[in-house]
Structure 1
Amino acid sequence: MKLIGSLTSPFARKVRVVLAEKKIEVEFAIESPWVPGNHVADANPLGKIPALVLDDETVLFDSRVIVEYLDNVTPNNKLMPAPNRERTEVKRWEALADGVADAAALIFLERKRPEAHRDAAWIARQKEKIDRGLAFMAEQLGEDAWCMGTHFSLADIATGATLGYLAFRFPEIEWRETHANLGRLYDKLMQRQSFIDTVPSE
């Protein structure tokens, strides 16, 4: 299998952490859809990362689809429960984390435009999504050890990938100060080799 992604994408990081936790080895092809001459669209018609090329050349895209597939490839270290209410809650955490990461990525891209062409109202709208999302994460986490209470799951991986992206791209967003429990969760995640090895970098 081959994973196509970048070293900065929170969605690619989520997949890379899942691969590490599941002990699945793949080729990692570093590509960014924003680099001229990239070949991302050759694999994913939507031109987005990550994309996973299977051994039979089938291509999976959207990180949520990829991680669900990977969790079922091997029975070890299951990150998602069987279909039931708990699985829905894990997927809700993932959707929330992905939504916050989406909003952050949109701000990052908007800020790359010439200052005269930036849409301040658009940036403010995305920032509100981030703030609301983080507040909801913190409320749901409470004093629990992990997002789902007592055990590590895909919910923690998705949340950690998003928090790591915010720390990397938006140090001015002081989520650790505002939501100390999210800071404790991320510090605990950063003790895992899968997170240590996937810290965002240019």
Structure 2
Amino acid sequence: MSLTLISATPSPYARLNRIALLEKHIPFTLHSEIPWHKSETQTPKYNPLEKLPVLIFPDRDPIYDSSLIQEYIVGKYADQGPRLVTGDWEVDMRLRQVQVLGQGVMDAVVLKFFETARGKGKASKEWEERQERKIQGGFRAFEELVKNRPQGGEYLFGDELTIADIAVGCAVGFVKFNGALGEGWEERFPSTARWFAGLDERESFRSTRPVMFDIKPDQVI
């Protein structure tokens, strides 16, 4: 079955799914686009919410929302390692909670970016500060997770990569890419920085690092 993932090059949400697909060696075609470009985007054709990522199949309706796509990859390809979950219901609930935390940090980075982009005199300082608190809170939680990982091992849960590692790695990578925490975040969250540096050299992470696209104002929907 041929799969196509519609992605945007800077998107940490699509990166979650790209990494899962690569780790499980699932063949797929990557279609990168700028979802706001009215003359080029195919996103609205597959997702009425006009959001990425979208996983497209040749013989069934598409799946949209990165969490749901991740759930599909984990469940559909459960027999292909790494499993990305543990199989223990209680532990897997914790994995999914960490995934929610990681995506919440991504959401806050995006919200802060667009608020700041409104420009001086238009952006809400209170709104920006609220998103900043979310990002800081998320990173404090990441720091505790990394410090308390089993036997100081490579992964957050157990001895194999899981959806939790992917989510936190993508969130930290997005903050590093976006600069949402400014300079010196590595000194403030040293355990997270060291853990991330190792994870980010993994082939699936290295090959999916975010890249900014060129938004053309005259093409924005």
Q: TM above 0.5, one fold? A: yes
Q: Note the 1:108-187 alignment, pairs <5 A.
A: 108-144=113-149, 145=153, 146-170=155-179, 172=182, 174-187=184-197
Q: Say which of 199, 202, 207 aligns to 1:192.
A: 202
Is the CA contact (8 Å cut-off) linking 1:142 and 1:181 kept in structure 2? yes
- 1:98-155 deviation digits (Å, cap 9, x = unpaired): 0001000111112222323111111110000000111012112215222214432110
Instruction: State the partner residue of 2:32.
Output: 30
Contact 2:146 2:195 in 1 (8 A): no
SS in 2 for 1:152: coil
Alpha-carbon distance, 1:83 to partner? 5.6
Between the aligned partners of 2:36 and 2:204, the Cα distance in structure 1 is 26
CA distance in 2, matches of 1:132, 1:156: 18
> For residue 17 of structure 2, what is the aligned residue in structure 1?
15
Q: Between 48-57 and 161-170, report the one with greater CA deviation.
A: 48-57
Read off the aligned partner of 1:196 and give its amino acid letter.
R
Q: Cα RMSD between the aligned structures? A: 1.6
Q: Distance in 2 between matches of 1:170 and 1:130?
A: 11
C-alpha distance in 2 between matches for 1:157 and 1:139? 17
Change (3 A) 1:59 1:128: same
Question: How far is 1:174 from its partner?
Answer: 3.4
2:9 maps to a residue whose letter is L
Task: Determine helix, strand or coil for the equivalent of 1:115.
Answer: coil
Equivalent residue, structure 2, for 1:89: 94
- Counterpart in 1 of 2:72? 69
Larger Rg: 2
The Cα shift of 1:72 comes to 2.3
Q: How many Å separate the matches in 1 of 2:37 and 2:192?
A: 33
Corresponding position of 2:55: 52
| Gaps in structure 2 of 5+ consecutive residues | 213-221
**8 Å Cα contact 1:166/1:173 also seen in 2:** no
SS of the aligned residue for 2:92 comes to helix
Which residues of structure 1 form unaligned runs of 5+?
A: none
Which stretch of structure 1 is more off in the superposition, 38-47 or 4-13? 38-47
TM-score, normalization: structure 2?
0.86
Q: What is the CA distance between 1:80 and its match in structure 2?
A: 1.4
Alignment CA distance shift 1:81-1:150 (3 Å): closer
SS at match of 1:131: helix
- Would you say how many aligned residue pairs link Structure 1 and Structure 2? 202
Kindly tell me: are residues 48 and 173 of structure 1, through their superposed partners in 2, closer, same or farther at Cα, counting changes over 3 Å? farther
Letter of the 2:176 partner, please give it.
A
TM-score normalised by the chain length of structure 1: 0.93
Shift of 1:56: 1.2
Q: Secondary structure at the match of 2:121?
A: helix
Contact 2:98–2:167 (CA under 8 A) maintained in structure 1: yes
Q: Which runs of 4+ in 1 moved over 4 A?
A: none
